[in-house]
Chains A and B, each alone.
Chain A
Amino acid sequence: MATESFEELAETFEFLDDWEDRYRHVIDMGRAMDGLDEALQVPATKVDGCASQVWIMPQIDGQGPDARFDFKGESDAMIVRGLIAVLHALYSGVRVGEVGKVDAVAELGRLGLNDHLSAQRSNGVRAMVERIRTVAAEAAAS
C-alpha cells in the first residue's frame, strides 16, 4: 500500500484507459500543484541530468527515521510538472526511514507511467526519485 493520496490516484487511473486521458490527468495535476517559488529555483534545488529544467526542495518535519518527508517541486515542462505532482502523491507524508522502500517503478507502473523511469529517458523523473531517496536517507540517519 502506498500513501492514501497515491492509492486514490491509482483508483482514478483505473478508469483512464488510453494514454491521452492519463496524460491529460497528469498535466492537470501539474497545473493544480503549488509549485516552487521562483526565488527558490536555485542551483541547490536544481536536479541535474534532465532535458527540461527541474527543481526540488525537500521539507523534513521531525527528527530521525520517523520524520515526515515532503517536498515542493517545479519544472518548465508541463508533463514533467505533472509527474512531480504524481511523485508528490507517492512520497508526501512518508516517514523518511520508509522513503527508500517505496518502489517508484512499480508504483508508477500501476498508473501506466513507468516508461518515464527508464534510464534512457532524460525527462528527469528518475533523477528526481534519486534525489528524494538520497535526501530522505540522509535525514533518517541524522
Chain B
Amino acid sequence: MSFDVQAVRADFPILSREVNGKPLVYLDSGASAQKPQVVIDAISYAYSYEYSNVHRGLHYLSNVATEKYESVRGVIAKFLNAGSEDEIVLNSGTTEGINMVAYGWAMPRMEAGDEIVLSIMEHHANIVPWHFLRERQGIVIKWVDVDANGDLDPQKVIDAIGPKTKLVAITHLSNVLGTKVDVKSITQAAHEKGVPVLVDGSQSAVHMPVDVQDLGVDFYAITGHKLYGPSGSGAIYVRKDRMAEMRPFIGGGDMIRDVHRDEVIYNDAPMKFEAGTPGIVQTIGLGVALEYIMSLGMANIAAYEDSLRDYARSKLDGLNWLNVQGQSADKAAIFSFTLQGAAHAHDISTVLDKKGVAVRAGQHCAQPLMEHMGIPATCRASFAMYNTTDDVDALVDALELCHDLFA
C-alpha cells in the first residue's frame, strides 16, 4: 500500500492556511499535531447530537455517549496490540498516565534507597513524577547517558539495573533527538532481573507501529494530542498483572462501586483508575484519530516519514553552519539544531515564524538532556506524516535567511 501525502494533507484543514502572509509550514507536530477533518467532525457531531455524561444515566443519550466512549478502549487496544481492552486506562495523556503509575504502582513498592532507571533524554513528564518519589520517600534516580551520536546503548540501561532497582522508565523515541530506543531488549533483560518497564510512548506511537505484547512492556503511555487527536485525551496500557498490583491514583465518582461512611469498594480495573467525568468527547475524538491513522497504516506512515527524514537530513547536512543534535541512523524525523554564531534559538524561531515556518524553540521539556549536551536551547523541527519535501525546502530557505541575518 502506498502513502499519498497530498491526500493526507487535504484531510487537515489548518494546513491550507497562511501565517504571516506565507503558506503555513508546520514543523511543530512533536509538541502537538494538527487534527484531520474526521476528528473535528466527530467532536462537533458528538456535542451536537450525542452528548451526555457516561456510565451514569440510563437514558438514550447517556447510553449512546457511553457506547461511543467505551468503544475507544478497544480501538486503543487494537492500536497498541494489547491483549485485552481491560488493559487500557483512559486518561488525559502521558503525563497523567505516568503520574498514575508513580503514585499507584511505584510509591507503595519503593523505600528509601530503592532505584529507578531513567535515560538522560526523558521528557519532564517521565522525570518529575520520579522526583516526587525521590523528594518524598528517598528513592534514587539512576541516569543513563546517550552517546555523542544521541544513541542510547540498551546494554548501558541494562547494566544500570541493580538489586535495588524497582522500575525502568524510559522513552521509546526522544522528543529532542529523534533517537529510537530498543525497549524490547531492555525489557527482556529487565524482566530477567525481575524489574518492570514503563515506556513513554508519546512520540513513538505517532511515528511507528507499536506492539506492546511483542515489546513485552509492563506500562506504555500514549497521548492523544500528538496522535492527531484532541488535547486532553490519552491512555496508558497496563499489563493485567501490573494492573492488579496498582492502587487507585485519583479518587472520585465513576471509579467506585459502593461508598459508605466507613468503607469504599472500588470499581473493577480499569475503571477504578478513571475517576470523575472523563474527557468524553476528547476520547471519542482520539478513537477517530486512531482509526484514521490505522487506515493509513502505521507501517506506511513510518516508511514515508523515513524517506522524509532522509531528505531532510541530506538537506540540513548541507548547511555547514548548522549543528544538528542527534545523528542516530534510524532516528525519527525530529531535528534539533543550533546555528553557529551568536543567534539564540528564539532568534531563529522568530525569523522562521516570519517565513511561515513553525518550530519549537527552547529546552523541549528535557532540561537534563540539554545540560548533558551543554546547550542552553535549541530549535526543533519535528515532522509528521503530513509534511512534505517542500516543507523541508521551506525550512532550509528560512534557515539560510537566518544565517544571513545573524552570521
Contact = CB atoms under 8 A, between A and B. Distances in A.
Contacts of B406: 27, 78
B351 A77 contact: no
A64 to B, nearest CB: 38
Nearest to B343: A78
Contacts of B405: 20, 23-24, 27
Interface string A48-84: 0001100000000000000000000001111110000
B242 interface: no
A19 B376 CA distance: 28
A123 interface: yes
Contacts of B344: 52, 75-78, 80
Interface string B320-364: 000000000000000000000011101100110010000001100
A78 B347 contact: yes
A16 to B, nearest CB: 14
Interface string B382-407: 00000000000000000001000110
B359 to A, nearest CB: 13
A20 B347 contact: no
Interface residues of A, number: 14
A51 B360 CA distance: 12
A80 B346 contact: yes
B346 A52 contact: yes
Which range holds the interface residue count of chain B? 10 to 19
Interface string B64-105: 000000000000000000000000000000000000000000
Contacts of B401: 20
Interface in A69-124: 75-80, 123
Contacts of B346: 51-52, 77, 79-80, 123
A77 B354 CA distance: 16
A79 B362 contact: no
Of A23, A77, A80, most B-chain CB atoms within 10 Å: A77
Given A23-B405, A27-B405, A51-B361, A79 B350 contact: yes
B88 to A, nearest CB: 36
Contacts of A79: 346-347, 350-351
Contacts of B347: 77-80
Interface in A1-50: 19-20, 23-24, 27
Interface of A: 19-20, 23-24, 27, 51-52, 75-80, 123
Interface of B: 342-344, 346-347, 350-351, 354, 361-362, 376, 401, 405-406
Query: What 8 pairs across the A-B complex have the smallest Cβ distances?
Result: A77-B344, A52-B346, A77-B346, A78-B347, A79-B347, A77-B347, A51-B346, A52-B344
21 contacts: A19-B354, A20-B401, A23-B351, A23-B354, A23-B405, A27-B405, A27-B406, A51-B346, A52-B344, A52-B346, A75-B344, A76-B344, A76-B376, A77-B343, A77-B347, A78-B344, A79-B347, A79-B350, A79-B351, A80-B344, A80-B346
